[in-house]
Chain A
Amino acid sequence: MLGITSYGAYIPLHRLSRTELFRAWAGIGMLGMSVPGEKAVASYDEDSVTMAVEAVIDCMRGVDPKKVDGLFFASTTYPYSEKQSSAIVSAAVDLRREVRIADFAGSLRAGTIAMTSAIDALKADSVNNIVVTASDARLGAPSGLMEQGFGDGAAALLLGRDNVIANILGSYTIYDEFSGVWRAQTDTFVRSWEDRMVLDTGYSVILPEAINGVMDKCGLKAKDFTRIVYDSPLDVRAHIRLTKTLGFPPERVQDTMFMNLGNTGTAQAMMMLIAALEEAKEGDKILFASYGNGADAFVLEVTKEIEKVRERRGIKAHLASKRMLTNYETYLRWRGLIPMEPAQRPELTPTSISALRRDRKAILPLYGVKCKKCGTPEYRPPAWAGGRAPARICVICQAKDQFESYKFSDKKGKLFNFTHDYIATTPDPPATNIIIDFDGGGRGMFDFTDRDPDTVAVGMSVEMTFRKLFFDRGIHNYYWKARPVRI
């Protein structure tokens, strides 16, 4: 059989209460109603790419990245219109060059479309395994219901034939040109037709068509499923109505996490599935479906192998690990939605594509070197002092070109020292910069993100996280930062 062999997820640390959105806009655009709950908010240095990297790393715990045969990425919020985001993710998680990768886009069911393609690749024996990741950070226009409802997050599933935790028994797919929710290439915010029409013509009829289709195909009835997982449009009441239409017992239907996460777009269905897998037992049958320009539906059966992949941050641990944003203005600033007075600081050196290319192994998977002569792990010389990465001369013993590669992105470390810099330019002042002593040796200076300035202290445990440093002339500069060990 083939199926899911591992799962992982990512939810940003920060949450914004919908009460705060209501306060900020005094109810404008909300029909005077304060929608309850909170939404996960990507930090200023996160986007769909960085969140996908986190989810894939969570999914690949205990998996050698060099043994992964492919990576399919699904999103509607890629940072580039022309540059492959799956290539950035694959490089950051250190996949081999000879693997197949693709960006799936354009639909909120791009995640399950990618899954279907991955299943086909496995069936054709083109690959032994493949990671499918979905990640989204969609923007609703300020004061609207979409701004209230959308949350940010990512999911990843490893599909393969060995140690399958959930067999895929069947699938069913249909396409439909109708969307009712769209965003043109020039749009910043998602647009929608009147939602009554959008739901009555789309979600409420097309998704059941796929769900019934897969049940018929597999000869299964509603009562045969332990868990029913299907995603929701912005209005979660439509999700509840569908449960009734299809005759599923509500207690078996997976929570949409609208209240504590928000609608994560392309990632939503897979994140809900992962939440279901976290609770699943051997023998459970799961119906899994996703909607968007048509619908995909799958039947899964959980195996005993599921007990071996419990060491994941997944959904539950990520949901529990959170910090509330105290105000809406921070959200606006982080999303770049308001013009800010420019900092009275020097402009950054223009990004050099040739420098990024030369140093790619040091920048994307965060490789340094280990000296074969003296055994010292070393990250890299600073940019302003012979900043070639990796170094060619060992700073300890001066041996030349006698290094083996040494990866730092998967190492934890201890905070050696720090500053909170109040004059440095950052969307999240103060800029906390730290020096890390990595467990096992090696040192580096990094931005410290997702930190609470009041609790930063010498000696605290830190880990690495893939983030966007800054945007310069159309180039997103991705790199690693440190953060307090999250969970």
Chain B
Amino acid sequence: MAESIKDKVAVIGVGCTNFGELWDRSVSDLIVDATFEAVEDAGIELKDIDAAWIGHWCETSGMTGLGLSGTLGLQYKPVTRVENACATGSDCLRNAAYAVACGVYDKVLVVGAEKLKDMGIAGLPNQVPLGTPNLVTAISAPGLFAMMATSYFHRYGLSPQEGKRMLSHIPVKSHHNGAMNPKAHFRREVTLEQVINSPIIAWPLGIFDCCGTSDGAAAAVLVRASEAKKFRPDPVYIKALQICANPADGARRNDCDFTHIEATYRAGQAAYKEAGIKNPRKEISMAEVHDCFSINEAIVMEDLQFSARGKVKDDLESGFFTLNGSLPVQASGGLKCFGHPVAATGLRMLYEMCKQLQGKSGQRQVKNPKLGLTQNMGGHPADNVVSCVIVGL
């Protein structure tokens, strides 16, 4: 009988650079800064690390484990590069946590680092692998997610105006939180009307429905749960750690509805079971989810059962997910405002949850959080890999 990861692994230190267009900092600078913040937060030294995992999505950020060992001068330690699209950071955490849980390492380091802004163009690099036929001429990441908004609006009978208004609550809330976050990429508030009227990127999504593409890195140090209190009084324990890849069937099967993401739903269900959660809407204190595009956050709220199917509009309008609401989502500002350096994002979400649980989030502090959830998605509505992590004190 397979065992659960629940309460076997603890996070004893986290680090995160500021995210943004960091023209003067290389990926190595980002790795050094995130790593040393995490190591110092854990109260250990770099030489104490037994093994490490480094996440890069894009080849401009690095290849192999050498990007980490070379930058940090790690002395002949096992280092693995992990890549799982935008869920890379969470998958680094998962691989490292399992290694700690099985007892072969005492202290491990996970780092996600991405340098997206050195390409000379906005957006993400081309994602069609060499040696495969290029069959769709032109579609951007916003375009792929916009198709989900089209389906959602159609299914629930929302006019484009009603649909856009519903979605606009999401970036308004995230910008409000992000404006208070010194490490966030975008630090200004926006109004509902600004979001609704922002230039269209991929109909029906406007520019404020889309997250930033950023440079940045995040890191964490993990130990076995039984050892954690030796390092600090308030370690954060992993309660659930789930990831699943869909069979790339969204654009193949007629029954994929594009109004939910099955992998998000299943990762959520598995995480709730692992953590022993019966009513996520009530039991989860806060969440950092994959709001690469506003429509995805809306649908994630339903897939994670924070909102009933087709009813996220009510919760968005009532402010259920705002900082003072019953279930604050994106207290950090989310991908939308904190930014989205692909491989760093999953660990950046973990960083925010740890700081919130430890009561160190200042103006953005969520009141008495018990359990924090991160949901991190790689790919797009048709083809994706989704992680769901639950942590608590």
Contacts and interface: CB of A to CB of B under 8 A. Distances in A.
A423 B256 CA distance: 26
A418 B126 CA distance: 21
A444 B138 contact: no
B202 to A, nearest CB: 4
Interface string A438-454: 00011111110000000
Contacts of A381: 248, 252
Given A378-B252, A379-B252, A445 B154 contact: no
A356 interface: yes
A418 B381 CA distance: 13
B134 A383 contact: yes
A344 B138 CA distance: 13
Nearest to A380: B252
Interface string A442-477: 111111000000000010000000000110100001
B267 to A, nearest CB: 18
B248 A382 contact: yes
Nearest to A418: B150
B133 A422 contact: no
A435 interface: yes
A423 B142 contact: yes
A423 B126 contact: no
Contacts of A442: 254
Contacts of A349: 126, 128-130, 132, 134
A384 B132 contact: yes
Interface string B120-139: 01111111111111111111
A16 to B, nearest CB: 23
Nearest to B85: A384
A421 B146 contact: yes
Given A345-B123, A417-B154, A445 B131 contact: no
Contacts of A346: 119, 121, 123-126
B247 interface: yes
A76 B340 CA distance: 51
A350 B203 contact: no
A425 B124 contact: no
B391 to A, nearest CB: 30
B203 A422 contact: yes
A472 B130 CA distance: 14
Contacts of A458: 150-151, 154
Contact of A421 (B124, B133, B202, B379): B202
Interface in A359-374: 359, 363
A44 B123 CA distance: 25
A355 interface: yes
A423 B154 contact: no
B147 interface: yes
B249 interface: yes
A477 B122 CA distance: 26
B151 A421 contact: no
Nearest to B246: A385
Chain A interface, DSSP helix/strand/loop, else mixed: loop
B65 interface: no
Interface string A411-428: 000001111111111100
B140 A355 contact: no
Given A348-B126, A418-B147, A424 B138 contact: yes
Contacts of A426: 137-138
B258 interface: yes
Nearest to A368: B252
B319 interface: no
A426 to B, nearest CB: 5
B63 to A, nearest CB: 18
Given A349-B130, A381-B248, A382-B248, A421 B143 contact: yes
Nearest to B129: A384
A416 B258 CA distance: 9
Interface string B236-258: 00000000000111011110101
B200 interface: yes
A355 B253 contact: no
A386 interface: yes
A424 B133 contact: no
B252 A443 contact: yes
A430 B203 contact: yes
Interface in A320-365: 344-352, 354-356, 359, 363
B201 interface: yes
A174 interface: no
A433 interface: yes
B383 interface: yes
Given A382-B248, A430-B203, A469-B137, A424 B121 contact: no
Contacts of A375: none
Contact of A443 (B126, B132, B202, B254): B254
A233 to B, nearest CB: 37
B135 A469 contact: yes
The 7 closest A-B pairs by CB, nearest first: A385-B248, A424-B138, A421-B143, A419-B146, A383-B132, A420-B203, A346-B126
Given A351-B133, A376-B253, A430-B203, 4 more contacts: A346-B125, A384-B383, A417-B147, A447-B138
19 contacts: A345-B140, A347-B126, A348-B128, A349-B126, A351-B133, A352-B130, A382-B248, A384-B132, A385-B383, A395-B247, A417-B151, A418-B147, A419-B205, A424-B138, A430-B203, A433-B143, A433-B147, A458-B151, A477-B134
